[in-house]
A and B are shown apart, each in its own frame.
Chain A
Amino acid sequence: MDLIQIKDLSFSYPTKKDTLKNININVEQGKFTCIVGENGSGKSTLLKCILGLNKGYTGEIIKEQHIGYLPQKSEIQAHFPATIEEVVLSGTISNNVRSIFYKKEDKENAKKVMQKLGIYDVRKTCFADLSGGQQQRVLIARALCATKSIIVLDEPTNGLDPSIARQIYELLNTLKNEENITILMVSHDIERALNYADKVIEIENGVVTYNGEIEKYHNKHCECPCHHHDEEKEDGGAK
C-alpha cells in the first residue's frame, strides 16, 4: 500500500521556473524511503509540496491525512522557553484543532511517546538547553504525536556528530520495525542515510533520476565513491 502517491507533480517558484518537473513517485507503507540530491535539486521543495507548505503546484498528491513532520532547524528555537513536554504535546494539535485545551488522550499519547523515546524523565527540561541530538529526539517524539503511520524528516542529521547522527538513524529504524512507522527522509548525508533506507529517490534539477530499491541504486552508482562507507573509522574519529 502507498501512503503517498504523487502524480505528474510540477512546481515553480516565482523566481525559479521548473523547480520540480513531472514528478511521479510513491511512498510505500512500512518502508524507509530516502530522497537524495544536491543542494537546490528540489528535494526540500518536493517535501514542502507533500506537506502542503507549497501551494500552487500542478499535478496530484494523494496522501495520508496525518503526517508527522520534522522540519529543518529554525533559529527561533535556539532560545525558546519551552519544556520537552510542551513541545511533544504540541504535536497532537492536528488531532483536535478546535478544542481549547489538550485532551486527556493526547496527554496520554504524548506520555507514551516520551517514554518510548526515553525523554519522559527529563520532560520538564528546557528544549533550548538540550544537545542537538536530544533536540531531534524531542522533535521526532512530537512528529509521532501527530501521526500513527508516517513521519517526514527534512535533513534530520544536519550539524550532528556522526555518532549522534547514527543514533538518530537507529531510532528511526527501530520505529519502522517496532511501530510500523513509515519513514520519508530528505538527506544530504547520503552515505550514512543509505545504510538504513529501503528505497531511494534521487532528484537532480527537479527531475527524478532514480526511484527504487537501495541495492540497485548502489549498482547504478558503483563508480561513485560516496557509498563506499567506512562507518567504524568515521565514528572512531568523532570520539
Chain B
Amino acid sequence: MIQNVAEMMSHIFIQRAVLVGVLISLCAALLGVSLVLKRYSMIGDGLSHVGFGVLTVATAFGASTPLYIAIPCVTISAIVLLKIGNNSRIKSDSAIALISSSALAIGVAATSLTTGMNTDVCNFMFGSILAMSHTDVVISIVVSIIVAVLFIVYYRKLFVVTFDENFAKASGLKANRYTNIIAVLTALIIVVGMRMMGVMLISSIIIFPALTSMRIFKSFKKVIISSAIISVVSFLIGIYLSYIYNISTGAMIVIVNLVLFILFSIIEKIKN
C-alpha cells in the first residue's frame, strides 16, 4: 500500500488534487455543520447547479478562467437563496429547486449552442482531478484559508446564531450577517470544490461529515472536530481507492462518506 501511495503521489496532478482536496474537505465539513443544523442542506445542492450553469456558459463564451466569473455569481445566488428562504411567499425548498434547475437548463442550452456535450461538460458534472489548473489550485488555497480563519474567528457567534437566532439577535448580534457569511463561504467552497467533486456530488461532502458525526457526538465542538476529521479521512481514502481501482474520484469520496455514515449509524444503534 505504501508503494501505491508513493507512486500515486509522484504525479504532480495528484499532489495538487490532494492539497486542494484536503483543504476543501476540511472547510466543507466546517460549514456543513451549520448548514445541516439550520436546515439549509439543500442550499449546497442548489448552488452547485448554479455553479454548473455559470461555468458552462463562461466556458462556452471562451472565458480563460471561468472561476473568476463563477465565484461572484454563485455568491450572489447564495445570498438571494437565503433571503428568499427567510421572508417570501416562495419557500426556500421550492426556491432552490427553481434556481438549480433553471441554472442547469441555461448551462445545458449554452453548451448545445456552442461546443456540444463534450468532456469538459462531463467533467463539470462528475468532477475530475485532472481538471485542476494551476490557477484553480491557487484560488482553492486562498479560499480555504479564508474559510478556515473566518470560521475560527466567528466560531462562538456561529454557535449562538445557529442554536438560537432570536437569542442571538436579542444579545445584539447581527444574526443575518453571520448567516450571510456562512452562505458566502459555502458558495466559495462549492465553486472551488465542484471542479474536483463534480456538480452532482459536491453537496455531499458538505452534508455527510456533519450528519455522520451527529450520529455519535453530542457536543457542538466535538461534532465540528469530528466532521473535519471524517471529511479529510474520507477524501484521502476516496482518492486512494479511485487511483487504485480507476474509479471517478468524486464518486469514490461520496461512497467512502456513505460507508462511514452507515458505520456511525450502526455504532449509534449499538450504543443505545
Contact = CB atoms under 8 A, between A and B. Distances in A.
Interface of A: 51-53, 67, 69, 71, 74, 76-77, 79-83, 86-87, 90-91, 93-94, 97, 100-102, 124-126, 128-129, 142, 146, 152
Nearest to A126: B218
B214 A71 contact: no
B58 to A, nearest CB: 37
A146 B214 CA distance: 28
A71 B166 contact: yes
B220 interface: yes
A82 B148 CA distance: 21
B62 interface: no
Given A52-B169, A52-B170, A80-B220, 11 more contacts: A53-B166, A69-B166, A71-B170, A76-B164, A81-B220, A82-B159, A82-B219, A93-B168, A101-B156, A129-B218, A142-B167
Contacts of B220: 80-83, 86
24 contacts: A53-B169, A69-B166, A76-B38, A77-B163, A77-B164, A79-B214, A80-B163, A81-B214, A81-B218, A81-B223, A82-B159, A83-B219, A86-B219, A86-B221, A90-B167, A93-B160, A93-B171, A94-B171, A94-B172, A97-B171, A100-B152, A100-B156, A126-B219, A146-B171
Contacts of B159: 82, 86, 90
Contact of B153 (A97, A100, A152): A100
Leading 10 A-B pairs by shortest Cβ distance? A126-B218, A94-B171, A69-B170, A51-B170, A71-B166, A83-B219, A82-B220, A81-B223, A90-B160, A93-B160
Given A71-B164, A86-B220, A87-B163, A102 B156 contact: yes
Contacts of B213: 81
Nearest to B38: A76
B155 A100 contact: yes
B243 interface: no
A51 B167 CA distance: 9
A93 B156 CA distance: 8
A90 B164 CA distance: 10
B151 to A, nearest CB: 11
Interface residues of B, number: 31
A48 B219 CA distance: 30
B170 A53 contact: yes
A97 B166 contact: no
Contacts of A80: 37, 162-163, 220
Contacts of B37: 76, 80-81
A61 B218 CA distance: 40
Nearest to A81: B223
A76 B173 contact: no
B163 A97 contact: no
Contact of B219 (A53, A67, A79, A81): A81
Nearest to B218: A126
B32 to A, nearest CB: 13
B260 to A, nearest CB: 17
Nearest to B165: A74
B134 interface: no
A151 to B, nearest CB: 11
B157 interface: yes
A90 B218 CA distance: 16
